[in-house]
Structure 1
Amino acid sequence: MLSTRRRQFVNMLIFLLLILFILYSSILARFRTPEVALDSSSGSFLTKTYLGLENEQAQSELISGSSLHNEGQFVSGNPQSSLSSLSSSSNEPETINKVSTAGVPSDDVNNRNHISAEISSERSVLKSEKKNEVEEELHRILSISPVVIFSKTRCPFSVRAKNILLKKYSIDPAPHIVELDQHPLGSSLQKSLAALTGRSSVPNVFISGQSIGGCDEVIDLDQKNILATKIYELGKQSIKVQLRQTT
């Protein structure tokens, strides 16, 4: 027969073992997945592994299917629902505050385009007005005298042509000299003369609205003694030309 003290010790030991068993069972049950618990009777390692993988995949799909993007767009785990949501959003009318791809509100883009169009239109109008102004000025200059010399003050070829026409010959009415480097529209007039005669350089000598060329042409006509005749013929006999008396 066991003594009372030993019996109490054995009972206490059994009680402690029972408590430890209960705690161990509860902890083990807490960490086991539902699928593994259901199949624990089968004891198949492959089955448990397969179910574990399926469980992880289902959890990842659930998380990705319910996540929200930073842009505020809901992404569904179902591809068909994603396509339908994108299609419906693309058919929505554009709002006033819609932001363009450049990060600028569409209103600002439209305003800038409108302003650019207005500026372009104004430039076209100004360009047309400037062109008309140049054409009118050129017509006015050519009507001043039958003989017009377009030159520049520092151009040696202009100086040489003017010396022949003004000092060697006496021309009546007197030639009108236009110094393009001193004229307010000089640059534009020179471009207009280039378009009209194909000569962009100076001098450019006109007789009754017709260009006879520049310095080389004037020298050539003078050396051939036909410059006076050329001026007389182009002037329709309204210009008097003769050599000046040399002393």
Structure 2
Amino acid sequence: MERVRDLASKKAIVMFTKSSCCMCHSIKSLFYELGASPAVHELDKDSRGKEMEWALRGMGCNPSVPAVFIGGQFVGSARDVLSSHVDGTLKQRLIDANAIWF
């Protein structure tokens, strides 16, 4: 869990994904469309990916990917990100984390 928290604190937006996950691709695309550049860690391409996946599940992310952190804070999975986008709070979170500028 320490590795996940460390990686999540290094950039304004950090995503843990899998290369074969369609929802991961969709969430990455959403951030790119909003003008953000997330740090993406693909668990299926990381030697410690399984360990990080279990840590994410321990943090309450089920399914474990995509797992999104903004400003070092755990936002949640695709459902949580999409909900905050629909209700308008995602953009403000990105601005507050200096991930996008307006």
Range into which the TM-score falls when normalised by the shorter chain: 0.7 to 0.9
Moved over 3 A (4+): none
Picking from 152, 157, 169, the partner of 2:18 is: 152
Q: Flag the structure with larger Rg.
A: 1
Alpha-carbon distance change, 183 to 240 in structure 1, aligned in 2, over 3 angstroms? closer
- Residue correspondence of structure 1 range 1-247 to structure 2 within 5 A: 135=2, 137-166=3-32, 168-171=33-36, 174-195=37-58, 197-200=59-62, 201-233=64-96, 235=97, 239-241=98-100
TM-score by length of 1: 0.38
Higher relative contact order (CA 8 A, sep 6+): 2
Kindly indicate whether the alpha-carbon contact (under 8 Å) linking 1:150 and 1:179 is maintained by their aligned counterparts in 2.
yes
Matches of 1:205 and 1:222, distance apart in 2:
13
Query: What is the deviation of 1:217?
Result: 1.7
- State the alpha-carbon separation in 1 of the partners of residues 69 and 57 from structure 2: 13
Q: Is the contact between residue 28 and residue 38 of structure 2 (CA under 8 Å) also seen in structure 1?
A: no
State the 1:159 CA deviation: 0.9
Cα 1:202–1:240 change in 2 (3 A) is closer
CA RMSD between the two structures: 2.0
Unpaired segments of 5 or more residues in structure 1? 1-133
Equivalents in 2 of 1:141, 1:150: separation in Å? 10
SS in 1 for 2:44: coil
- Identity level (%): 25
CA shift, 1:139, in A, is 3.9
Letter in 1 for 2:8: L
Structure 1 or 2: larger strand share? Answer: 2
Structure 2 segments unaligned to the other structure (5+ residues): none
CA distance in 2, matches of 1:150, 1:191: 12
Q: CA deviation at 1:193?
A: 1.6
* Mapped partners of 1:189, 1:163: distance in 2: 23
CA distance in 2, matches of 1:138, 1:164: 22
- Provide the secondary structure at the position in 2 that maps to 1:158: helix
Q: Aligned partners of 1:147 and 1:225: how far apart in 2?
A: 17
